[in-house]
């Protein structure tokens, strides 16, 4: 009888163990019900200025070289640089152009910088516009990358739709070389 009791107890314990294990769920990592946010938040590209010292541009203004970091899941092959600046206006109701849309350029990889010759062209283009306003002194500008399909006279709605980066602000000094702009306005 003693032997039968031992086997019965062993069987009862084995069945209880199996029942206990069958009723337990896999514990996993504990994150099954928690939604995971995206790895990259915000616009697909992030801009920063290169810390290298710049040589002054003969155009009268020098925009620092722009470095970019891109979301690897949202890479673009071409983009355009948009430059916005504070334009002076005697008439507050007048709508004067205050942005310049550069020609598209090839960009590649998740990290890089805009080429120096492209930035030189941006300096010259911006200098021509500022010269037209007879501006000199400090100028507040903002730069952003947009899809290459952005039109040169893009509206705010089109720009918001095609914008690839947040605005990167900077204040630069414009030394207007135009001889007829002696009194010039300052955009401070």
On whether the CB atoms of residues 47 and 143 are closer than 8 A, the answer is yes
Among 94-98, 100-104, 117-121, the least confident range: 94-98
Q: Per-residue pLDDT tens for 33-48?
A: 666 666 778 789 999 9
What is the Cα–Cα distance from 105 to 169, expressed in whole angstroms?
21
What is the reported pLDDT for 90? 40
What is the reported pLDDT for 107? 93
What is the Cα–Cα distance from 82 to 165, expressed in whole angstroms?
10
pTM: 0.71
Residue 188, pLDDT > 60, answer no
- Find how far residue 87's CA is from the centre of its chain: 24
Higher-pLDDT residue of 127, 178: 127
Of residues 47, 41, 42, the one with CA closest to residue 112: 47
* Cβ burial 97-127 (10 Å sphere, 16+ → b, else e): ebbbbbebbebeeeeebbeeebbbbbbebbb
């Amino acid at each position: 009888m003693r032997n039968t009791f031992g086997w019965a107890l062993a069987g009862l314990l084995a069945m209880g163990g199996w029942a206990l294990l069958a009723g337990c769920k896999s514990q996993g990592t504990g994150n099954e019900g928690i939604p995971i946010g995206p790895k990259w938040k915000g616009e697909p590209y992030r801009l920063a200025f290169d810390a290298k010292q710049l040589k002054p541009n003969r155009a009268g203004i020098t925009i620092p070289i722009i470095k970019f970091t891109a979301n690897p899941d949202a890479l673009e092959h071409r983009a355009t640089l948009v430059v916005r600046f504070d334009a002076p206006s005697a008439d507050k109701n007048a709508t004067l152009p205050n942005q310049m849309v550069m020609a598209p350029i090839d960009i590649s990889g998740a990290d890089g910088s805009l080429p120096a010759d492209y930035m030189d062209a941006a300096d010259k283009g911006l200098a021509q516009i500022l010269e037209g306003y007879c501006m000199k002194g400090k100028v507040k500008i903002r730069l952003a990358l947009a899809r290459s399909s952005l039109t040169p006279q893009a509206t705010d709605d089109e720009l918001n739709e095609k914008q690839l980066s947040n605005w990167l602000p900077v204040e630069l000094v414009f030394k207007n070389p135009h001889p007829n702009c002696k009194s010039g306005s300052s955009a401070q």
